[in-house]
Amino acid sequence: MSLAAATIPAPSIEYSQLAPMLIVFGAAVVGVLVEAFAPRHLRRPAHLVLSLGGLATAFVLTCVIAGSASIFANGSPGHNAAMGAVAVDRPTLFIQGTILVLAFVSVLLIADSAQDVSPFAGQAAAAPGSPEEREGLLAGLVHTEIYPLTLFAVGGMLLFPASNDLLTMFVALEVLSLPLYLLCGLARRRRLLSHEAAVKYFLLGAFSSAFFLFGIAMLYGYSGSVSLAAIASTVSSNTGSTTLLFAGIALTGLGLLFKIGAVPFQSWKPDVYQGAPTPVTALMASCTVVSAFGALLRVFYVAFGNLTWDWRPAMWAVAILTMVIGAIIAITQTDVKRLLAYSSIAHAGFILTAVIAASAAGLSSSLFYLAAYGFTTVGAFAVITLVRDPGGEADHLSRWAGLGKRSPLVAGIFAFFLLAFAGIPLTSGFTGKFAVFQAAVAGGATPLVIVGVLASAIAAFFYVRVIVLMFFSDPVPDGPEVVVPSLFTGTAVGLGAVATLVLGIVPGPVLDLANHAATQLFVR
């Protein structure tokens, strides 16, 4: 081999186009420095400034990039930055913007320490119930690492849907997952449950990553490249082993479907959503899902866009299973966070119906649905943090009985979120469902939509059941206390509610934005 003799062209990197991700990662790295050198009492404020400021700056930069003429000059769909590793195009920017806003709201929840102290364990390493733990509590130890961890995760989420080759995508997947595994185990209350969630998430996540990597290897074997565009061109030139190709599609698809929680790769979701600290659950249920859908859309639209007829039947099956199983199992849930986890599975199925359409309409409706669903989810989990027992959040549904009588405003807002999940008109949920089903019908997937509507009907049943429980049951004696939200949580709930309402009544501008983002699909 003549490696030494060959000249290696120095790669070029478009820093300005990658600025949002760089800012978030940079803020995370600075956050680590804060952890290392700042005195303890200054850490939380410093992290707050860094995280919120970093996310806000990144969002502004995303908007600036989306508005910049040079990238989209002459009708170009976008640009492949960093030697083709990272795509900068409109759908990606829409997704990244959504993630940044939702992450901002999630960080507000994470930062809320007005109730007792913080939703996070003071000292994660101390065994639950041990003397060390008590010592740590008395000493007032607080983990402020959650902020840099969150930022690392968000950075990974930004990169995940933007990755234009599979290796970058894998790295992004790991960057977003590893901090989340840790964050899941940091709950202050019910720590064993939280630890269990973290370990399960880690094991299964590693398992799925292995499949993903295996799939990448097969696709590399098929096309000799990990770049999505190169795989697509190999597909069109019809060379290479189709066995490798289809096994590769299945296994990379598995890795992505795992992250969105599609059946049969959903098992981690309820356990993890229940065990994780609620603000982290909010982050996972909104940002991670948005990011994973972004990556799924990119891989299936760009690399496998010419193979829709081949992967559609399998995806149909997955979508149907996801919608139906998510909705059905949710019925017998008694824990509100598990309930929302199953609801999130069902919603993943609804979005899949639009993904399967493999059209601009499918893309735009998915984008809209993701944004709408993300806001409602963050708001709903924010409400959950407010309903408390002496031992922490009152997650068991029986504790929510009669909440509407005790605290009509909080129960009313939660009921509103549930109605949005159920897809009742004048909420964002209706608009989103309408859009994805419309796209699915236009894509010829009418049976899928029929299943979707039936699953929505089943799902509506358990949402309404919670509402009935809250408003028409007698309050339980010594029921949970509804704490007055702090500024942070209040803002999160308010933003969620306003977005849910506005996207239900005046969805036009955001729909236009999503349509505009989707007209040219992804850059290749």
Partner 1 sequence: MRLYVPILVLAVLAAGFAIFSVTFGALAGPKRWNKAKLESYECGIEPTPAPLGGGKVPIKYYLTAMLFIVFDIEIVFLYPWAVTFNKLGAFALVEMVAFVVAVLIAYAYVWRRGGLDWD
Partner 2 sequence: MTMTTLAATGALRYSWLLLAFPVFGAAVLLAGGRRTDRWGHLLGVAMPLAAFVYGLVAFFTLLGYPAAERGRELHMYSWIPVGSFQVNIGLLLDPLSISFVLLITGVGSLIHIYSVGYMATDAERRKFFGYLNLFIAAMLLLVLADNYLALYAGWEGVGLASYLLIGFWSFKPSAAVAAKKAFIVNRVGDAGLSVAVMLMFAEFGTVSFGGVFHSARSGGSGVATALGLLLLLGACGKSAQVPLQSWLLDAMEGPTPVSALIHAATMVTAGVYLLVRSNPILALSSTAQLAVTVVGAVTLLWGAIIGCAKDDIKKSLAGSTMSQIGYMTLGAGLGPAGYVFAIAHLLAHGFFKAGLFLGAGSVMHAMDDEVNMRRYGGLARYMPVTFVTFGLGYLAIIGFPPLSGFFTKDGIIAAAWDKGGTSGALLATCAIIGAGLTAFYMTRMMLMTFFGKPRWQEAGPRGGAEPRTGQPQPEPHMAGGSGGSSPRASTAALHPHESPGVMIWPMILLAVGSIGAGAFLITGQRFQSFLSPVVGVPPVSHGVFTTAGYITLALMAAGIVIAWAMYGRVPVPATAPRGSLITNAARRDLYGDAFNEAVLMRPGQWLTRLSVYFDGRGIDGLVNTTAAAIGGTSGRTRRVQTGFVRSYALLMFAGAGLLVAALLVVRL
Please identify, among the stretches 114-122, 221-229, 290-298, 309-317, the one whose residues bind partner 2 according to the rule CB under 8 A: 309-317
Could you say whether residue 125 binds partner 1 (CB under 8 A)? yes
CB nearer to partner 2: give 126 or 459.
459
Lay out the site mask for partner 2 across 415-444 (x = CB under 8 A, - = otherwise). Answer: ----------------x--xx--x---x--
Nearest C-alpha neighbor of 425 from the set 355, 500, 348, 493: 500
Single residue of 1, 2, 11, 131 touching partner 1 by CB under 8 A: 11
In contact, 113 and 48? CB cutoff 8 Å: no
Provide the minimum distance between the beta carbon of 293 and partner 2 in the complex, in angstroms, as a whole number: 18
Could you say whether residue 331 binds partner 2 (CB under 8 A)? yes
* 288-309 per-residue burial string, b: 16 or more CB within 10 A, e: under 16: bbbbbbbbbbbbbbbbbbebbe
Provide the minimum distance between the beta carbon of 36 and partner 1 in the complex, in angstroms, as a whole number: 4
DSSP 88: E
Nearest C-alpha neighbor of 292 from the set 164, 105, 99, 157: 157
In contact, 252 and 165? CB cutoff 8 Å: no
In contact, 149 and 280? CB cutoff 8 Å: no
CB nearer to partner 2: give 53 or 509.
509
Query: Which residues within the stretch 12-31 sit at the binding site for partner 1 (CB under 8 A)?
Result: 12, 29
The torsion angles phi and psi of 507, rounded to 5 degrees, stand at: -75, -10
CB nearer to partner 2: give 85 or 173.
173
Which of partner 2, partner 1, none is residue 36 near (CB under 5 to 8 Å by kind)? partner 1
CB nearer to partner 1: give 84 or 494.
84
DSSP 10: P
* 328-337 per-residue burial string, b: 16 or more CB within 10 A, e: under 16: ebbeebeebb
Provide the minimum distance between the beta carbon of 113 and partner 1 in the complex, in angstroms, as a whole number: 21
Q: Who's near 487: CB < 8 A, 6+ residues apart?
A: none
Which of partner 1, partner 2, none is residue 29 near (CB under 5 to 8 Å by kind)? partner 1
Could you say whether residue 271 binds partner 2 (CB under 8 A)? yes
The helix (run of H) or strand (run of E) holding residue 197 is helix 191-223
Please identify, among the stretches 136-144, 287-295, 415-423, 505-513, the one whose residues bind partner 2 according to the rule CB under 8 A: 505-513
CB nearer to partner 2: give 265 or 381.
265
Could you say whether residue 365 binds partner 2 (CB under 8 A)? yes
Could you say whether residue 32 binds partner 1 (CB under 8 A)? yes
Structure tokens at 104: 């901002």
In contact, 426 and 372? CB cutoff 8 Å: no
Residue with tokens 């966070």: 337
The torsion angles phi and psi of 389, rounded to 5 degrees, stand at: -100, 170
Could you say whether residue 10 binds partner 1 (CB under 8 A)? yes
Could you say whether residue 267 binds partner 2 (CB under 8 A)? yes
Would you say the C-alpha torsion 296, 301, 303, 306 has a positive or negative sign?
A: positive
Contacts to partner 2 by CB under 8 A? 199-200, 203-204, 207-208, 211, 242-243, 246-247, 249-251, 253-254, 258, 263-265, 267-268, 270-271, 310-311, 313-314, 317-318, 325, 328-333, 361, 365, 431, 434-435, 438, 442, 458, 461, 505-508, 511-512
Residue ranges binding partner 1 (CB under 8 A) = 4, 7-8, 10-12, 29, 32-33, 35-37, 125
